[in-house]
Amino acid sequence: MIVTIDGPAGAGKSSAARQLAKRLGFHFLDTGAMYRAVVYTAIERGIDLTDADALEQVAASIDIQLTDDSVLVDGQDVTRAIRTQAITTATRYAADHPGIRARLVELQRAAAEGQDFVTEGRDQGSIVFPNAECKVFLTASERVRAERRYHDLISRGEDLTFDDVLEKQQQRDERDATRPVGALIQADDAVVLVTDGMSAEEVVDRLHDIVMQHR
Ligand code: C5P
């Protein structure tokens, strides 16, 4: 069974999807981490992110391993390093690149082959797994999403203001919604879950109910 969870930045997809997968005994795939890993590696290698060919070369040459709670690039643990605000902002260079998207989509489909999977991102229900048995569009109001992300970044020791986070989120929403390939769209058959006012546990409970209704 494939369960897709798509939605905008800060909707709480990653943690909810991870918890849901644990509860169901399914594998979990955080596809945003793959785009982040490509850009992180390119920066580490001193590559100009606007050089589309060089960036695609990085995506084609690295080995990305995603376990349930860590991200390894060529064996190096980058789990925390790919979560900074700087990488979050720069990830658009990989996400906007059709060739890199094609490569990562291929890896995502291969990872899910023959497995029970919860996968989260922007295009999982619409493009990557159009025949998924259960699709969820997880969202929350702009302010709630920015507040969650702000508290998350502060707790990781980053120095930024709420307004910075809100502004960057608005820019990311705009890019996610308008990119020519792999834009964030709600699949026609997705169940919409708005998480304003819900605790993390309530979100997972609700997701679990939705999956059970699709089994
Ligand atoms: O979900 P996360 O914030 O980690 O995603 C990082 C970036 O990767 C997003 O801003 C989005 O632009 C991009 N992304 C994407 N397609 C996906 C997952 C993430 O374009 N399936």
Indicate if the pLDDT at residue 209 is higher than 80: yes
At residue 129, does pLDDT exceed 80? yes
Residue 194 DSSP code:
E
CA distance 175 to 3: 25
Among the atoms of ligand 1, which is closest to the Cα of residue 123? Answer: 21
Is the beta carbon of 95 within 6 A of some atom in ligand 1? yes
How far apart are alpha carbons 193 and 191 in whole angstroms? Answer: 7
* Best CATH choice for the domain 2-214 from the list 3.20.20.150, 3.40.50.2300, 3.40.50.300, 1.10.260.40: 3.40.50.300
User: How far apart are alpha carbons 30 and 5 in whole angstroms?
Assistant: 10
Percent of the chain residues past pLDDT 70, beyond the cut: 100
Kindly report the pTM of this predicted structure: 0.94
What's the average model confidence in pLDDT over 51-72?
Answer: 94
Check if the beta carbon of residue 78 is closer than 8 Å to that of residue 37: yes
Q: How far apart are CA 50 and CA 155, in angstroms?
A: 31
The pLDDT tens digits of the residues spanning 12-37 come to 899 999 999 999 999 999 999 999 99
Q: pLDDT band at residue 69, thresholds of 50, 70 and 90? A: confident
Q: Whose CA is nearest to atom 10 of ligand 1?
A: 172
Mutate to test the pocket of ligand 1, among 14, 29, 35, 184 (most ligand atoms within 8 A of CB): 35
The confidence score (pLDDT) of residue 145 equals 96
Determine the pLDDT at residue 10. Answer: 87
Domain ranges in the chain? 2-214
pLDDT at 68 over 80: no
Closest protein CA for atom 6 of ligand 1: 32
CA separation for the pair 174, 106 (Å, rounded): 25
